[in-house]
Structure formats: C-alpha cells, structure tokens
Amino acid sequence: MNQEMHKRAQTLILDRHNSAARALFGLLGRAALLAVTALPTLAIIFILFFIVRESIPFLDNLPRVKEFFTSTHWAPSKEVDPSFGALSIFYGTLMVTVGSCAVAVPLGVIAAICLSEIVSPKFAGIFKPVVELLAAIPSVAYGFFALVVFAPILQNHGGFLLSALALLAGLPACAIIGIAFSDMALSKMLRNPNKNQKAAFRVIITVALCALPVAAAYKLFSVEIASGTNAFNASIILAIMALPTIVSISQDALTAIGRDMREGSLALGSTRSEMIFKVILPCAKSGIAVAVILGFMRVIGETMVVWMASGNSLKIPEPFYNFLEPVRTLTATIAGEMGEADQSTGSARYHVLFAMSFCLLVAGLLLNGASQWIGSNRKKK
Amino acid sequence: MSNQIRKVLDKSFSAAAYCALVVMSLTVVVFLTPIIVNGIGAIVFKATVEHEKFLMENLDREYSEKVLQRIAEANAAREPLYKMMRDYERGDSAAYKKRLDNGISRALAHIESGSDKIFALLNETSAEARVRMAAEFSRLAWFEYLTELDLAAKEARASGNSMALAKVLQAQEDEISEAAKAALNELGEKKKLTFSQKSMLRRAFTHGVFEELKAKEGELHDDDDAYIAVKHGIEELLGPATQGDKEKYKLMRQKYGQTRMSLAEDVLKNSILTISITRANAEGAEVSQRIDSLKFFKNTPVEKMLLYVEDNIDAMLRPHWTIYWGFFTDNPYDSSIFGGIWPMILGTFYLTAGAMIMAAPLGIIAAIYFAEYAKEGKIVGILRMCVGTLAGVPSIVFGLFGLTFLINTLHVSDNKSVLAGAITLALLILPTIIRSCEEAVKAVPNSYREAAAGLGAGKWRGICSVILPSALPSMLTGIIISMGRAAGETAPIIFTAATSTGAALAVWEIFSQPTPALPWNIYNICSEHEMADKVQHVQYGMVLTLITIVLALNFAAIVIRARMQKKLKS
C-alpha cells in the first residue's frame, strides 16, 4: 500500500517536473512563433534600409536632387557630365496612373454595384471566376497582349477604334443626361408645360447633347496614331489589371451594408438607383475608397505592362494631356536600365535608379497607410 | 422630377451596370482568344519537311519509313530548281569576250586609219571645239563596238548569262585603256608627242565609251543583285542546297529552311516574289528598293525558276499537319527559332517551388500566431500593419532589394541565382499567404478547440492535431493562388534570377546559376529578339503555357474551395 502511494507521488513529482519543462518549451515555442511572425516587419525594415542606403549617394547632393525633380533631361549613362532629370518619367507615371484609374474606377465600382445590388447572388457567384481570372493572369501576359495584339490594332485602326468608343460610350450617356437635364430644367422654367412643349424641349436638348459625342467621334476618326505603344495603350491594359482589385474590394464593402438600410430606403419610395446613390454608396464610401487606393497601388507598382506598352519615350507629351504619345514610367526605367547600370561598383546611374525606387516605395507606403487608416476608421464606426 | 423620368434613369442605370459586367467578360474573351488560338498554333501546325529534318539531325528523333520517303520526295522535287540555278550561274563568258575583243581591235584599226583627223585636235585651240571633235571621232570609232555590246547584253539577259557578261565587262575597261595606250604610244613615237598631248589624245579616243560600259555593267549588276537576292530567298525557304553549304553556315537558322508552312509562305511572298535591291537613285545615292521579281526578270531563265518555286512549293516542302509535343520538352535552338521551351518551364518550376518551400511554412506559422496566440495590442498591431505594408511594396522594389541585399550584401550567390530569386519571390507572396492562412485558421469553429482541450491536448498539440488538419484545405487554396502569382511575377526576378539564354539547370545548380524563366523570356522574346516576327508562334506558345500553369493552379484552388464548401454544408 505504502509502496503504491510512493509510486503515485513520484509520478506526480515527475509530472510537475514535466510541466515545468513543458512551460519552458511552450515559452520557447511562442518566442519562435513570434520570431517568424516578425519576419514581414523585419523585411519592411530591411527593404527600407537597403533602398535608402543605396539611394543616399545620389540624394545627398542637393542641386542634383533639384535637377532630379525639375529637369526633363535624362542621360545618366554619359561619362562626362551626366544628367538626371526625371521629371518626364515622373510625369509619365502620373499620366498612366491617372489614365488607368479614370477607366478602372467607374467601371469597377459600377460592376461591383451590379454584382452586389442588381444581379442575383447566384449569378454573382457564377461571375466571380471572371474577376478572379482577370486577377490571376500574370502581368507579363497583359504586357504581351498590349505589345503584340493591341498595339498593332491601335496603330492601324486607332482612329476608327477611338471614334467607335466615343460613340458607344458617349451616345447613351448623353441621351440619358439630356433626358434628365431637360426634365429638371422644364420643371424649373415652366409651371405647366403642355405636352408638345415638353416633347419639343426634350428632343432639342437631347439632340444637342448627342451631337457632342458625334462631333468627337468625327474628329477622332481622322486621328492617326504614330506608335501603338503609348500612354493610352498602357492605361487601358493597366485599368484591366486594376479592375479585379477594385471590383472585389468594393463588392465586399457593398455587401457588408445591412438589409435595414436598403429596405428603409425602398420603403421611403426611392427607386433602386436612387437607393444606390443616396444610401448605399455614402455608406460604403470608405470601403470603396480603400478599393480605389489598392487599385491605384497596383497600377503605380506595375512594371511589365508599362515597360512593354508605354513606348518608353523620354518626352512629356505635347500637349500634356495627349494620351496617344509614348511615355515612360519609373518602374519601366528601373527595369530597363538596371540591367545596364554598373551594379557592383555602384555608379551614379545605379544610385539614381535606387532613388527612383525609393520614391516608388514612399508612394506605396503612403497609399498603404492611407488605406489602412481609412479601414481602421471604418472598423471603429 | 417626374416618376416616369425616375424610372427611365433607374432602368438606364441598371443597363449601365450590366454593361460593365459585359465589358469585363468581353475583356476576358478578347484577351484570351488570340492567345489561346495562336498559342495552340505553336504545338499544332502545318510543318514542312525541314521541321522533321531538324528534329532528326539535332534531337535524334526517329521517324518512320513514310517520313523518310517524304523527305526524299521533297529533295527530288527541289532538284530541277537547283539544276536551273547551277546552269544560270555557270554561264559562258568566252564567246562574249571574243566578240567584244574583236570590237576593240576594229575600233583601234579605225583610230589608226583616222589618225590624221585626230591629230587635227591638237591644233585646235578652243576647248569646246576640241570636245566636239573628240566626241565625233570616238562615236565613229566605237560605233561597231557599242552595237556589239548592246546586242551582247540583250542576248545575255535573255539566255541568263548576265552574270558572265558582267564579269567580261569588268575586264573590258582595263583592256580598252591598255589597248588605247599601246596604240597611242606607237603614234607618239612617230609624231614625237609631249605627255600632255598624249593624255589629251587618249581621252579623245575613249570618249564616251567608258560611260557606256559602266551603264551596261550597272544594268547587268542589277540583274546580278536581284538574282542573288532571289537565291538568298530560296535558301531561306528551302535551306542550303548542298551538304557543303550546310556545314559552312554556323547559325541554325541558316542550316534549315522554313519549318512552318505559314512562315514559308511569308518567305515566298516577301523574300522571293518581291525582293529588295540597292540601286542608285536620281541623285546618285544608293537606296534600297522593293521590286516585283517576276516583273523584273520577265523573259529570263530566272522567271522560270520563280514560277517553278511558286508552283512547286508544296512539293518541295511537303507541308502536313503535325502535333509537336516537343515544344514543351525540347531545348530551344538558335534564339528559340527552333525547338521548344523546356528550360523556361523548368526555371519557372524551380522558382515557384523554391518560393513556396520557403514562404508556405513561414506563412502558416505566422498565421497560427496571429490567429491563436496573439493578443490584440500595440506590438501585434504593428506586426499586422507590416504584413499589409509588405503587400503594398511594388514588385520591382522587391527585385532591387533582392539585388542589393541578397546578392550584393549577403552574397547568397556570386551573381543572379535561382536561390536569390526564390527568396525574393517568397518575400513577395508571404503577406498573401499569411492573410489567407489566418482566415483559414480563424474559420475553424471554436468547438474544435474546446473539444481538443477537453480531451487533454495542450494548445500546441491541439493546433497540430485538430486545427491545422481542419484548416488545411482552405489554407491550401490561398497557398496555391499565391503559387500562381509567384509563377507569373517578372519584375522581382529580373535582377535576381532570370537570364534570357541558358540551358535547363540541374537541381544542384539552382544555388549558383541563373535560369531562364517563362515570364522573363516572354518579355525578352517580344521586345529584344532580333527576329521577333519569326518567333511569334513561340511567343504565343510561351504566354499560353504560362497562363495555363497559372490558371490551372487557380482552378485547382477553386475546386478545393468548392469541395470544402460542400463538406461544410453537409
């Protein structure tokens, strides 16, 4: 009996021993887990450190930095008196980004609205793979499409394509705006218009507005595009790449809005589009803003498409909004010139490319910070 | 606003929304159609016998009797063409030489008989009169010779001997001036002429003849140039005529003709039936001109060759539909003009697998920490924020980081290597993996954790034996999608791992050697290839392969997800 008790006590002591070891082991394990989890943080710090370290030899010279941001003369490989004016490159980046967002944001937000508000959830589930497909296609494949398929079409039938686009998009839009505007104007101007007056007024306003896209299409028809690889081409393809990000994140933001909002709005007698514009969109605006920012980030950081499709010309287009001229972006410059820059010895050209990537990194961090800030504000609400 | 208008606006907004969906779907169709159609063309195409010749001689493929016979028949069909070319090039120059030499001696005889007339030149003081007299004299003297020359040139073109005649004419110039010098010397001895008088007379003798010769020679040379251009075109189409020629050439593209019928038709149209020759234009500058060779060679033997090529191209190349699976498993030859894309596929595999091996365990561990251990606080908030920030770093910046940190600072390899590229890609996809795995771990119901704890499992044990297995399928979805992203990324590997040419690597070489990879080689073959239009099928084939790999991975992820949802429902 006594012996048995003793045995049991021993196992208990062993257990205590065991549990101490276990606790130690657990602590070590947690430390290891934490170390692995800190890896992204470490990576961010290292990336910042190394990019800054390599760009400092360029950025420590103030006149050179001024030249970097204000001059358009870019000849970093010259032996004597090289020049580092990157203004046109910054402008090209801005142009392509703005252009692609101008296409992708309206299209993406409308598509997200359609998927979450208009079509049935079942159809939205069927459509999801299309969005995922667009997101999954590698950027170099988009670049290939831009260079090999789209650029020749743009170069040979650019005028026709642009005028067709103006007609297809502009005519319905102008017709609707015309109808809505004439109605609003009518109710303001005349107290009790008779039927004929109404109809005549509507027709006149709508036809006048519809003349705009027709005139634009007529003018665009005779446009000749010198090179198919230009800012327009790059913008369109980048817009396609940014679409999935914008659609899926906006869609999430829209579906997160409760039923009560929709039902309340409908019960007050609004049509579906009024509900969307007056209730749903204001509620989801922070989520949509995050979607737009993330789409923006994808476009700014994209390399292969702009390298292959933007034409890589070092000029600021004339006039400055001419999207049919080739431009050059930061990412394309880095990718194109780093291969030739003297990597190991660290020439001025090597460092200026790092300074460019530093600018990109800063832009990325700022945008990312903005999206996280908006996101966290939304959560607090 | 009236209700009617509100209704119209509502309907038109719905229409616009549907249009957005249609535009997106159309984009997918417009994007994928040319790539799929032309990409399949890289594997299924109308091949010529040159394709089989290339495979037999370089890749040791064995073929049936039937194919060998086809090659023999094609060679037999080429023989008449080669015979025509040989005959044309041989030409008989001796007869022309005799005729023209005859003409020279007659002209010299004329000079001797009319020497009085020419001496009158010396007494003439006005330069104008001198030139007129010289022209008159030389026209008379060389009349017969020039007629003979004209006749010979016409005959030569018609019989296909213009190359032979051009050679004779080249020598004629020297012969004429030699003969004129000799004749003058004789006269000079007699009349005791000064040097300047002699040279003046010599100019008078040969006045206008050289110009005439040059012009004729130029015409014949044009013939010659054009013929050489046609000959090059034929060589491009069919490959070298003889084994000797074949060994002489170094580049693979010169050793074989066109392997694809579509390219062969292009060559026929652009390098044989129309050719470019350099000609002097009105201002005397040499310019390249495109000409219609059938028109140029009208009524000459070359016309017969051209017609033969045009009519018998099928017999000489024996086109037939073939499926070339070797596109995926063969090495590329001569800048991808021949062969397949095996090294690029293998390189993409190495990079993707390497990135996954590194990123997946780390990502899963970090996800477990975030989901199971971390208590929300400042530090965890910062860690979480950094995951988001890392996801927002542009991919090209990852490439530069890999270059300056991994290669220039850590020296993981002397130069670019698969290892450096895989580490860079792993960093790139780490945030995505962490996020999706965290979602997966969080989605495991709490009852599982409680049950594991109730059965006496410690936290770690519970995670390993209960939570991870049940979260695995949905983790796999995220990991596989990231894998697709790693396979398609280009910018991070430009400076860390990719090279445009190179053989397939063995496994132990991945630590020190750069590799070709599909994404980088697609860029390279589109933008920096010297004959981009000759390798369009390879471009499309590569893009289709890459897209297929990426979409297959995504499809696998979708299938896993769908199965899981089914399981959860039941």
ipTM of the prediction? 0.89
In the chain, the amino acid numbered B254 is Q
Instruction: Answer whether residue B68 is part of any domain.
Output: yes
Q: What are the residues whose beta carbons fall under 8 Å from the beta carbon of B336, sequence distance 6 or more?
A: B521, B525, B529, B535, B538
Provide long-range contacts, Cβ within 8 A and 24+ apart, for B459-464: B459/A26, B459/B372, B460/A26, B460/A29, B463/B368, B463/B372
Burial class from Cβ neighbours inside 10 Å (0-12, 13-18, 19+) for residue A2 reads exposed
Whether B273 has its CB under 8 Å from any CB of chain A: the answer is no
Q: Give the pLDDT of residue A17.
A: 58
Report angle CA B263, B265, B266 to the nearest 5 degrees.
65
The residue with tokens 């979805």 is B477
Whether B388 has its CB under 8 Å from any CB of chain A: the answer is yes
Instruction: Answer whether residue B562 is part of any domain.
Output: yes
Tell me if B393 and A131 make a contact (CB, 8 A cut-off). no
Whether B405 has its CB under 8 Å from any CB of chain A: the answer is yes
Indicate which of B36, B37, B389, B536 best probes the interface with A, i.e. most A CBs within 10 Å of its own CB: B389
Instruction: Answer whether residue B330 is part of any domain.
Output: no
**Whether residues B490 and B551 fall in one domain:** yes
Q: Tokens representing B212?
A: 């005439």
**Whether residues B351 and B315 fall in one domain:** no
Q: What is the mean pLDDT of chain A?
A: 87
The pLDDT of B69-86, averaged and rounded, is: 89
Which residues of B fall within a CB distance of 8 Å from A23? Answer: none
The tally of CA atoms less than 13 A away on the side-chain side of residue A28 is 6
| Other beta carbons less than 10 A from residue B100's beta carbon | 21
Q: Which of B291, B323, B355 is where one domain is finished?
A: B323
- Give one DSSP letter per residue of B340-352, joined into a string: --HHHHHHHHHHH
Q: Give the pLDDT of residue A348.
A: 81
A342, pLDDT greater than 60: no
- Do residues B480 and A136 touch, judged by C-beta distance below 8 A? no
DSSP B334: T
Provide the percentage of residues in chain B whose pLDDT is more than 90. 28
Q: Which of A142-151, B341-350, B532-541 has the lowest mean pLDDT?
A: B532-541
**Whether residues B548 and B529 fall in one domain:** yes
Longest alpha-carbon distance in chain B:
136
Give A18's pLDDT tier (boundaries 50, 70, 90). Answer: low
Q: What is the pLDDT of residues B176-191, one digit of tens each?
A: 778 777 777 777 777 7
Give the whole-angstrom CA distance, residue B43 versus residue B325.
6
B165, pLDDT greater than 70: yes
The 3-class secondary structure across A363-381, one letter per residue, is HHHHHHHHHHHHHHHHHHC
A11, pLDDT greater than 60: no
Whether B381 has its CB under 8 Å from any CB of chain A: the answer is no
A98, pLDDT greater than 80: yes
Q: Give the pLDDT of residue A191.
A: 67
Residue B482: in which H helix or E strand, if any?
helix B468-488
Q: Tokens representing A76?
A: 């970093």
User: How many A/B residue pairs have CB atoms within 8 Å?
Assistant: 270
Give A57's pLDDT tier (boundaries 50, 70, 90). Answer: confident
Alpha helices (H) in chain A, listed in sequence order: 2-37, 39-59, 62-70, 87-113, 121-136, 139-144, 151-189, 195-221, 231-255, 259-267, 272-275, 281-301, 304-309, 330-338, 348-380
Q: Where are the domains of chain A?
A: 2-36, 47-154+227-380
**Whether residues B463 and B431 fall in one domain:** yes
- Give one DSSP letter per residue of A290-356, joined into a string: HHHHHHHHHHHH--HHHHHHSB---S--SSTT-TTS-B--HHHHHHHHHTTS-TTTT-HHHHHHHHH
**Whether residues B310 and B345 fall in one domain:** no
Residue of B nearest to A35 (CA): B366
Burial class from Cβ neighbours inside 10 Å (0-12, 13-18, 19+) for residue A284 reads buried
Tell me if A129 and B558 make a contact (CB, 8 A cut-off). yes
Three-state DSSP state, B279: strand
Residue of A nearest to B387 (CA): A40
Three-state DSSP state, B338: strand
**Whether residues B69 and B11 fall in one domain:** no
Facing residue for A130 by CB, picked from B13, B25, B490: B25
Give the whole-angstrom CA distance, residue A273 versus residue B18.
13
Q: What is the pLDDT of residues B120-161, one digit of tens each?
A: 666 666 777 777 777 777 777 777 778 888 888 777 777 667
Domain A47-154+227-380, CATH class in plain words: mainly alpha
Provide long-range contacts, Cβ within 8 A and 24+ apart, for B267-272: B267/B233, B267/B236, B267/B237, B268/B233, B268/B237, B268/B309, B268/B310, B268/B313, B271/B229, B271/B232, B271/B233, B271/B236, B271/B237, B272/B230, B272/B233, B272/B234, B272/B237, B272/B306, B272/B309
**Whether residues B236 and B349 fall in one domain:** no
- Beta pairing class for B44-47 and A83-84: unpaired
Residue B290: in which H helix or E strand, if any?
strand B286-292
Instruction: Answer whether residue B332 is part of any domain.
Output: no
Three-state DSSP state, B274: strand
Q: Give the pLDDT of residue A6.
A: 65
Q: Is A311 left (phi over 0), alpha (psi -120 to 50) or beta?
A: left
More confident residue, B241 or B439: B439
Give the whole-angstrom CA distance, residue B451 versus residue B457.
9
Give the whole-angstrom CA distance, residue B453 versus residue B450.
5
Q: Give the pLDDT of residue A148.
A: 92
Q: Give the pLDDT of residue A307.
A: 92
Q: Residues 164 to 223 of B: which have CB under 8 A from any A CB?
A: none
Q: Is B414 left (phi over 0), alpha (psi -120 to 50) or beta?
A: alpha
Facing residue for B543 by CB, picked from A37, A141, A339: A141
**Whether residues B434 and B316 fall in one domain:** no
Q: Give the pLDDT of residue B89.
A: 75
Give A125's pLDDT tier (boundaries 50, 70, 90). Answer: confident
Q: What are the residues whose beta carbons fall under 8 Å from the beta carbon of B375, sequence distance 6 or more?
A: none
Provide the percentage of residues in chain A whose pLDDT is more than 70. 92
Nearest Cα of chain A lies from the Cα of B567 at a distance, in angstroms, of 18
Burial class from Cβ neighbours inside 10 Å (0-12, 13-18, 19+) for residue B490 reads buried
Give the whole-angstrom CA distance, residue B256 versus residue B48.
11
CA dist B568 → A252, B471, B474, B562 (Å): 22, 12, 12, 10
Facing residue for A331 by CB, picked from B386, B396, B481: B396
**Whether residues B417 and B282 fall in one domain:** no
Whether B462 has its CB under 8 Å from any CB of chain A: the answer is no
Report angle CA A107, A110, A112 to the nearest 5 degrees.
105
The pLDDT of A300-314, averaged and rounded, is: 90
Tell me if A36 and B365 make a contact (CB, 8 A cut-off). yes
Q: What are the residues whose beta carbons fall under 8 Å from the beta carbon of A151, sequence distance 6 or more?
A: A227, A228, A229, A233, A309
In the chain, the amino acid numbered A44 is I
Q: Which of B323, B346, B362 is where one domain is finished?
A: B323
**Whether residues B128 and B16 fall in one domain:** no
Domain containing B348 equals 338-569
**Whether residues B27 and B89 fall in one domain:** no
Facing residue for B34 by CB, picked from A38, A149, A372: A149
The 3-class secondary structure across B504-560, one letter per residue, is CCCHHHHHCCCECCHHHHHHHHHHCCCCHHHCHHHHHHHHHHHHHHHHHHHHHHHHH
Nearest to A279, CA basis, from A289, A293, A265: A265
Nearest to B415, CA basis, from A228, A344, A342: A344
Q: Which of A289-303, B55-69, B301-315 has the lowest mean pLDDT?
A: B55-69
A346, pLDDT greater than 90: no
Whether B35 has its CB under 8 Å from any CB of chain A: the answer is yes
The pLDDT of B3-31, averaged and rounded, is: 90
Give the whole-angstrom CA distance, residue B570 versus residue B565.
9
Give B342's pLDDT tier (boundaries 50, 70, 90). Answer: very high
Q: Which of A50-64, A253-267, A337-351 has the lowest mean pLDDT?
A: A337-351
A324, pLDDT greater than 70: yes
Give the whole-angstrom CA distance, residue A260 versus residue A298.
34
Tell me if B31 and A26 make a contact (CB, 8 A cut-off). no
- Do residues B177 and B209 touch, judged by C-beta distance below 8 A? no
Q: Tokens representing B31?
A: 């994007």
Give the whole-angstrom CA distance, residue B43 versus residue B537.
9
Q: What is the pLDDT of residues B364-413, one digit of tens each?
A: 999 999 998 888 788 888 998 899 899 989 999 999 999 989 988 888 88
pTM: 0.86
Q: Which of B44-48, B193-197, B561-565 has the lowest mean pLDDT?
A: B193-197
Nearest to B336, CA basis, from B546, B550, B522, B62: B522
- Do residues B358 and B430 touch, judged by C-beta distance below 8 A? no
More confident residue, B489 or A193: B489
Instruction: Answer whether residue B474 is part of any domain.
Output: yes
Residue B459: in which H helix or E strand, if any?
helix B459-462
More confident residue, A18 or A88: A88
Give the whole-angstrom CA distance, residue B142 versus residue B175.
14
Report angle CA A102, B33, B494 to the nearest 5 degrees.
65
Tell me if B401 and A51 make a contact (CB, 8 A cut-off). yes
Which residues of B fall within a CB distance of 8 Å from A309? Answer: none
The pLDDT of A162-173, averaged and rounded, is: 90
Which residues of B fall within a CB distance of 8 Å from A353? Answer: 400
Report angle CA A32, B441, A44 to the nearest 5 degrees.
50
Give the whole-angstrom CA distance, residue B49 versus residue B28.
37
Give B565's pLDDT tier (boundaries 50, 70, 90). Answer: confident
| Other beta carbons less than 10 A from residue B469's beta carbon | 12
Instruction: Answer whether residue B331 is part of any domain.
Output: no
Please count the structural domains in chain B.
Answer: 3
The pLDDT of A84-101, averaged and rounded, is: 92
Helix axes A87-113, B3-40, angle to 10 degrees: 120
